[in-house]
Chains A and B, each alone.
Chain A
């Protein structure tokens, strides 16, 4: 399968600061990317997605940036809150099928009150 990796396994930020989580993907043919949040003992929860025809997409307090040239994906969380503490995964796949996705190793985000 594709190789999707994250640069930093852990990240600690002060409450109220912005967080940036990075991800590198290896399959240049992937055209659909998703960020998931996983809390302890639960399944992944969808945060935001982006297709390869875009380089930026914004949601509520979150922004995903896609750089296809260097195959890099990032998730920005504005005004990080304690409830944002979790493990964050990026996943890559194909929009046409919506099928198999391959996940990166994950980044554990800890928000310090």
Chain B
């Protein structure tokens, strides 16, 4: 069965809107979760590590104020794309640590 649940699977919104994406760990309590971004026909790019009870750790080049991450509980992490613009359109995927790491089914974000 699924280990990670991601919601919504698809969202289309106007430029300037803020969009929240949820990632839930279903099988265990995750003190960390990971957020990736994927452009069409490209690989997954690690954006940040979400840490329960503390600030997220962002990869170099990722705007912290643009991509707000909150790890509200041991089973839930959220990614909020603030004041989204068309260039933020992408496929966002979360994962939980482990051997192997398990991924959600992603969120297709389209900004008009």
A105 and B44 CA atoms in complex are apart in Å by: 8
For residue A34, CB closer than 8 A to chain B, the reply is yes
Decide if B100 touches A46 in the complex (CB within 8 Å): yes
Decide if A43 touches B43 in the complex (CB within 8 Å): no
Decide if B99 touches A98 in the complex (CB within 8 Å): yes
CB distance from B101 to the nearest CB of A (A): 6
Selected contact of B99 from candidates A41, A49, A100, CB within 8 Å: A49
Number of interface residues of B (CB under 8 A): 25
> In chain B, residues 64-112, which have Cβ atoms closer than 8 Å to a Cβ of chain A?
93, 95, 97-106, 108
Tell me how many residue pairs across A and B have CB atoms closer than 8 Å: 56
Contact code string A70-108 (vs B, CB < 8 Å = 1, else 0): 000000000000000000010101010111111111101
Selected contact of B44 from candidates A89, A98, A99, A108, CB within 8 Å: A89
For residue A1, CB closer than 8 A to chain B, the reply is yes
Name the B residues within 8 Å of A89 (CB-CB): 43-44
Number of interface residues of A (CB under 8 A): 26
Given that A98-B99, A102-B46, A105-B43 are known contacts, is A43 also in contact with B59, CB under 8 Å in the complex?
no
Instruction: Give me the 7 closest cross-chain CB pairs, A-B, nearest first.
Output: A43-B103, A103-B44, A103-B43, A98-B97, A46-B100, A43-B105, A43-B106
B interface residues (Cβ-Cβ under 8 A, vs A): 4, 6, 32, 34, 41-46, 49, 59, 93, 95, 97-106, 108
